[in-house]
Amino acid sequence: MRDIAPKIRIRISMNTSIIALLHGPDKPGIVAGVAGWILENGGSILHADQHHDGQQGVFFQRVEWVHADGSDPDDRAKSFYEMAVKMGMKIKTALSSDRPKVAIMVSKAGHAFHELVQNWQAGDLPCDISVVLGNHRDLESVATSHGLPFVFTPIAKETKAATEKQQIEIFREYGVQLVVMARYMQVLSDSFLDHCGAPVINIHHSFLPAFAGARPYHQAYERGVKIIGATAHYATAVLDDGPIIHQDVRPVSHRKSVLDLMRLGRDLEKLVLAEAVRLHLENRILVYGNKTVVFD
C-alpha cells in the first residue's frame, strides 16, 4: 500500500488542471451543482473557495480540478462553462498550463522590475515576459541581460498620443495579455486603457485611497503618518482608483524623513506588485464593480 499513494499523486499532478472563476446571484444549490458536475464528469477537485456578499446578494467561487482520464481539458472547460451559464453564473475559465504573455513598463526605478524578473526566473510567475517598454533607457541593459526585448518609447506631453499608439502596436505585435506598470511614472490615457487589449496592473506607493497622485511619500510625511503602504491595483481611467488587488504596510515614526519613507517603501512596493501579478496569473482575482474578491 505504501507505493500506491505516491503514484496517484504523481499522475494527478502531471495533469493540466482547469480553473473556473464564477459569480452571480446567490441561491441555494450552486456549490452542490458545481461539485456534482465535476464529480459526474470524472473530475477531482484540487481546490475550492467561495464567498458570499450579503449586502449585494452575490455568490463568488474559484474552483480548480483535474480529469485524470486523459480527456481534453479545453473540452471539459467548455462544457463546464456552458453548465455554469445555465445556472445563471458569469464565468471565466483557464488552464494551469496557460502562460500569458506579459509586457512590463518601466521608467528609471528598478526595484519593482528586478523583483518581477527574479520571481519569473524562479518559476513563481507562470507567464512569459515578452517585452519591456521604457520611457527612459536606464533599465535597458538590465532587461537585455535577462534576454528580454527592450523597446525605448520616449514620451513627452506633445508626443503622448503618438507614443501610446506605438506602445499599443507593440503589445499587439507581441500578443500581450497583461501589462504591468513597474513604477512606470506616466499616467495612462483613457484611450490607451481602452485600446491596449489587456488588463493593466499598477503599483502605487501609498496605502490607497490615502495619498493618491504624485509625491505620496511627501504627502504622508506632511501628515505625520504612523504607517506607510503600497497598493497594487488595476489601472482605470480615474487615477489610482482602480480595483485594489493587494496592499501591505510598514510602521514608521516621527523620526523618519521623507527619504527614509521612500527607502522603506521600496521594499513594500516591489513585494506588493509581485504578489498582485502572481495572484492575477494564477487566476485568483475576480473583479466586480470597483472591488475585487481575491481567493486563497
pLDDT of amino acid 9: 35
Contact 8, 273 (CB under 8 A): no
pLDDT of amino acid 208: 78
pLDDT of amino acid 10: 33
- pLDDT tens per residue across all 296 residues of the chain: 333 333 333 333 457 999 999 999 999 999 999 999 999 999 999 999 999 998 889 999 999 999 988 889 999 999 999 999 999 999 999 999 999 999 999 999 999 999 999 999 999 999 999 999 999 999 999 999 999 999 999 999 999 999 999 999 999 999 999 999 999 999 999 999 999 999 999 999 887 777 778 888 888 888 898 888 999 999 998 887 899 999 999 998 899 899 988 888 899 999 999 999 999 999 999 999 889 999 98
Type of residue numbered 253: S
Known catalytic residues are 240
pLDDT of amino acid 207: 79
Domain 4-95 shares a fold with domain 101-294: no
Type of residue numbered 53: D
Domain residue limits, the chain: 4-95, 101-294
DSSP for residue 74: H
Please return the burial class of 175, using the count of CB atoms within 10 Å of its CB with bins 0-12, 13-18 and 19+. middle
The grid coordinates listed for 185 are 511614472
Measured CA to CA, the distance from residue 67 to residue 76 in angstroms comes to 8
In this structure, are strands 244-251 and 101-106 parallel, antiparallel, or unpaired? Answer: unpaired
101-294 architecture in CATH?
Answer: 3-Layer(aba) Sandwich (3.40)
Share the mean pLDDT of the chain: 91
Contact 218, 240 (CB under 8 A): no
Measured CA to CA, the distance from residue 40 to residue 44 in angstroms comes to 10
The topology (CATH level 3) of 4-95 is: Alpha-Beta Plaits (3.30.70)
The grid coordinates listed for 245 are 488587488
Q: How many helices (H) and strands (E) does the chain have?
A: 9, 13
